[in-house]
A = this chain, B = another copy of it.
């Protein structure tokens, strides 16, 4: 059996193959080729903690994956990271446990970054250049890293917005250490008015991005709304968008960025399309350069399956060579 630590996974992981794998997984999910049972959940309210179990299998894959991810939000105050977790890979032929990936949340961060990059690449205008990243957390950095890898030929420029100038500068500085040039801003309205791509990565519970700030033709990828009560975009902006794309219709209409507009009766469910359908050519993506597109990503288990299998494949290649 294979047991890989986070440092080992960091060396093995290849963003390009993972990108291809996650893209294929979205398509498989939309075509009904993936089994993804409801997410398992345990709450630890006294410790402000929870645990999610995501698991599933893509038809034809030799491997199925179980991911257990814990989030304990008071951990930083005692010097521990918020997220913990592990991915288990089993043979879908024999049920044998083949690998334990002790990734400590790395792969979850990465697959979220890859999902955002895949959606942004599929939906932005071909000539879009100026990217606004809303938020200064770990996902701000992953969205930038992954989008650069997904669109290698494009001269994209990135600006990170944070309420705190220090945090925005710190994010830019961390990326500068990786050789990625990123600006920092605290003027959200100006940044949005100037952007051609907006990627929102905050846990906001009140809409941050006003409808009036967004120019025609802009693409927005929203990844913050992963639980009931969270919302980053003005409901009016969601309604105004020409195309609404999401990774999971069920999740997006229930607790994602489209849920407020849907519940208010302002958009019908049929006006939203799954990302996998767009990627697989069965659903319509951007039709017109002047329309606003919004991709709402709440996160689905096939992303975890795809990235775990991608790491295992890389491990096996490294052993074979």
Interface residues of A (CB under 8 A from B): 1, 3, 35, 37, 40-44, 47, 49, 51, 53, 55-57, 64, 66, 68, 70-72, 75, 78, 80, 83-86, 88, 90, 92-97, 100, 102
- Would A84 and B90 count as touching, CB distance under 8 A? yes
Q: Count copies of this chain in the complex.
A: 2
- Would B68 and A42 count as touching, CB distance under 8 A? no
Nearest chain B CB to A61's CB is how many angstroms away? Answer: 11
Q: Which residue of B lies closest to A69 (CB)?
A: B95
Q: Which residue of B lies closest to A96 (CB)?
A: B84
Query: Bound state CA distance, A83 and B44, in angstroms?
Result: 31
If A51-B90, A53-B66, A64-B42 touch, whether A85 touches B72 (CB-CB below 8 Å) is no
Query: Bound state CA distance, A102 and B35, in angstroms?
Result: 25
Query: Bound state CA distance, A88 and B87, in angstroms?
Result: 11
- Would A96 and B68 count as touching, CB distance under 8 A? no
Q: Which residues of B contact A68 (CB under 8 A)?
A: 66, 88, 90, 97
Query: Bound state CA distance, A3 and B4, in angstroms?
Result: 12
Q: Which residue of B lies closest to A54 (CB)?
A: B40
Nearest chain B CB to A215's CB is how many angstroms away? Answer: 42
- Would A37 and B44 count as touching, CB distance under 8 A? no
Q: Which residues of B contact A90 (CB under 8 A)?
A: 51, 68, 70, 84
